[in-house]
A = this chain, B = another copy of it.
Amino acid sequence: MIEARHIEALKGLAGEKGLLTEEADMAAYETGARYDRGRAAFVARPATTAEASAIVSYCVRNAIALVPQSGNTGLVSGSTPDGSGRQGVLSLNRLTAPFDLDRVNRSVRAGAGLRLSDLNGRLEESGLFFPIDLGADPRLGGMIATNTGGSRFLRYGDVRRNVLGLTVVLADEAGTVLDLSSDLRKNNTGVDWKQLFIGTSGAFGVVTECVLNLEPAPKQSATALLVPASADQVATLLVAMEDALGSYLSAFEGMSGNAVAAALDHVPSLRNPFQGGVVPGFVILAEISRATPPRAGEQPLDAVLEEVLAAIWEREDAPLADAFVGQPHEIWALRHALSEGVKHRGRLIAFDLSFRRGDIMPFLAHMKAEMPDHFEDVTICDFGHIGDGGVHFNLVVAKDDPRLADPDFEADLREWVFTVAVEQFGGSFSAEHAIGRKNQAFCDRYTPEKLRALAAGLKTITSPGPLGTITF
């Protein structure tokens, strides 16, 4: 428990609306999107960078640990307090100002507490958008702290690529505000400090404001479902599509038959698009899009996609077994339902991996072959982003499986998957979910000693106070 005088002092700094201490009010901030249920000493909700600075400064001076929390949609226990009841939550959700669109510069200056959907809603009239496409609806600060990627990474990159500037509060005694809020695209005048606060889960400072690059919103798209001739041929298909389409190609997503079947079974609004209702073993969602309006005399994108697929189909070693161009909203609805569907199959044990693009299918084949020998009755329901190397490697176990009562079971499973993914296939154990308590142990194991020493040094010179859920 935290002393009452600290609560009083923090109320003075954050205001009545800015500090929550009642259990009922705090519950939502203590509960994670997938795994967690912790206990917060308090939830501080500053409405300005200055308030955030004052709160952080007070906490550092009084050795009170803070966990920054943005939309709390993360999946690695990076934004909720532990069970001690001694950590305070620093919520960004009132930090929604400013909102300054610079139309000519194609940039926006926004509060880190703004939700992605609110940002894009407010941008709609301008014809611009922030091009990170996610299943969840996080707030901007958390997107920056985890460097989210998503389904259109292939075209637009990750958050890192689209951040021009940041305002950051450091966890030092002064609650120093670092103004890195440039709105320039080309600026090489020293260390690009903002990079240290992107993807590092709030360990080095709390992002309160950002300047984001915006892109012209797509005005046309065409989407197809592709069935590869074999798992081996997925890489060939990707290269063939990129050769023919270049940067038209805005998504190349992989979906295992198991994940697709789970979605079709559990999300009743979906229509089964496959011939005879038979779900193939592996399916690709390919999207092409343009930011330009349809123009008279221009081939519609559906026709472009069909023509490209036909040409690939006619190759002697055609990497395609089947393909059809369909309604984008229907196909994307299937893609977006995979996560929900898989959850209904049983207890989900999820991994967010990435590989060199050519290594994804070999990794999946290896796991399919080896799983029964290592762990019986574990179903692989993977899906992900073949175009950028990301795989949501989901494992499902029946909810009544007695092994779930044994904490070693999940630990052993995680151990095996990470070992194969990282050590054997040179992959990443966290592609786009970043780091939280959930993967701290693997971060410790796979970070070379020298980089851990550098991170400790960096922590000392930026935010020596206790901040966040993890240590690099």
Contact = CB atoms under 8 A, between A and B. Distances in A.
Interface of A: 102-107, 127, 146-147, 149, 153, 157-158, 160-161, 176, 178-179, 182-193, 195-196, 198-200, 215-216, 218-219, 235, 238-239, 242-248, 290-293, 295, 297-299, 304, 307, 354-358, 385, 388-390, 426-435, 439, 443, 446-448, 450-451, 453-455, 457-458, 460-462, 472
A428 to B, nearest CB: 4
Nearest to A170: B450
A290 B246 contact: yes
A179 B186 CA distance: 27
Which 4 pairs show the lowest CB-CB distances between chains A and B? A246-B291, A104-B358, A457-B461, A195-B195
A79 to B, nearest CB: 15
Contacts of A191: 196, 199-200, 451, 454-455, 458, 472
Contacts of A455: 190-191
A185 B292 contact: no
Contacts of A105: 356-358, 389
Nearest to A242: B216
A180 to B, nearest CB: 8
B446 A189 contact: yes
B189 A428 contact: yes
A438 to B, nearest CB: 12
B244 A292 contact: yes
A356 B239 contact: no
A430 B189 contact: yes
Contact of A246 (B192, B216, B242, B358): B216
Nearest to A355: B184
B354 A431 contact: no
A298 B431 CA distance: 38
A230 to B, nearest CB: 15
Given A179-B448, A354-B184, A435-B190, A216 B247 contact: yes
A186 B102 contact: no
Contacts of A219: 246
A432 B184 CA distance: 12
Q: Which of A246, A248, A293, A355 has the most CB of B within 10 A?
A: A246
